Amino acid sequence: MEFHAFIRNRLDMLRSEGRFRTLPDIGERSGKFIYVAGQSRLNLSSNDYLGLAEDRFLRDAYSEACREQGYSMTSSSSRLLTGNHHWYEQLERELEQMYGRDAALVFNSGYHANVGILPALAGRNDLILSDRLNHASIIDGAGISGAVHLRYRHNDTSHLEELLDSAQGSYRHRFIVTESVFSMDGDLADLRKLVQLKKRYGAVLIVDEAHAAGVFGERGLGLCETTGTVADMDIIIGTFGKAFASTGAYAVMDSVIRDYLVNTMRSFIFTTALPPAVLAWSMMTLRKQSEMYGERIHLQRIAAMLRGRLADAGFEVSGVSQIVPVITGSNESAVILAEKLRRAGVLGMAVRPPTVPENRARIRLSLRANLQWDDIEYIPDLIKAGRS
């Protein structure tokens, strides 16, 4: 088949399966609302979990600092050349102090982190055991590594233990990789149990806190802080692009692992460094969020209330976090419901395979601390009307 005809055929298949995607026409954000195709919508699809992106006082302070210090908008080089601005050093030292760990390393994105860390540490003589619902970036990183990659049943630590036990003596190193808050289901990994298995089997434990950093823990250090397991993790990955309202990602670890990543991690070595302007903003939001324990409690409270109301209305919902998925099943039903919500003034995005498993399409409601219960209490009735 001629190349363009092949591509058109594949696109037609995506349309017929309800998987065809287009880029939304997103305009300005204004507090709780966002403009989509020129129309204001209540924004229930943002990962700005603490509402820091809309913090006017923080933005004003940053703007004043930019005027006074003239932060550059580009680094123009990789960190190993001339891109390692002193803001990198300051941000990493801040992370080390907050987590009480030896070393931290900042990356351009969570995707850069996950597709780079595993290939740097694991190879063809190693085994990676990954939760079945881990993010695509973790799956891609495992694939690039060349290691044997097995996925254990979601949150099934008994299955994980079976795989660890059967792998004894067969591999150089065994890696356990999980998210802490799962991005599409909003449920939590059993981190204490994973630490027990790591210690019992001598495995390396890597936890991605992308959707937990800023949301869980007294200082916003994620589910590891809540469960008291920060010191037990070999690597904790977090992101600045969600609750911290910036760009980039980070990992905390022991200094020997940091040195090894700096020398071997391709997505770190061969990319242009983040601009100093971004790093300075990340420092401000990191410090600000550490003081927002009350906002974290409020966020979890309204999420629990919404989840309970949706369950009472007969919907399948999962999780115990700020991510509240409403399972629709088919791709078509998710797309139709999302459109009905948009017409009613609410942005709740449809999520379909391959992001989620087959026949598990959903509306992913993503709550933020700057929402009040009055803003969302009508949502279950609205979804119920949209399903009828």
Between CA 361 and CA 133 the distance in angstroms is: 14
Same domain flag for 299 and 281: no
Sheet containing 26-30: order of strands = 26-30, 33-36, 39-43, 346-347
Residue 111 is part of which domain span?
69-289
Report the CATH number that the domain containing residue 266 is assigned in CATH: 3.40.640.10
Per-residue pLDDT of the chain (388 residues; tens, 9 = 90+): 799 999 999 999 999 988 899 898 888 888 899 998 889 999 999 999 999 998 999 999 999 999 888 888 999 999 999 999 999 999 999 999 999 999 999 999 999 999 999 999 999 999 999 999 999 999 999 999 999 999 999 999 999 999 999 999 999 999 999 999 999 999 999 999 999 999 999 999 999 999 999 999 999 999 999 999 999 999 999 999 999 999 999 999 999 999 999 999 999 999 999 999 999 999 999 999 999 999 999 999 999 999 999 999 999 999 999 999 999 999 999 999 999 999 999 999 999 999 899 999 999 999 999 999 999 999 999 998 877 6
Between CA 68 and CA 134 the distance in angstroms is: 43
Q: Is residue 153 part of a domain?
A: yes
Residues 6 or more apart in contact with residue 278 via CB below 8 angstroms: 246, 247, 248
Same domain flag for 226 and 278: yes
Instruction: Say what the pTM is.
Output: 0.94
Contact 92, 106 (CB under 8 A): yes
Same domain flag for 224 and 270: yes
Q: Is residue 8 part of a domain?
A: no
Q: Is residue 227 part of a domain?
A: yes
294: its two tokens: 């009350």
Q: Is residue 121 part of a domain?
A: yes
> Total domain count for the chain?
2
Best CA proximity match to 279, nearest among 13, 130, 69? 69
Q: Is the peptide bond before 119 cis (omega within 30 degrees of 0)?
A: no
Same domain flag for 218 and 161: yes
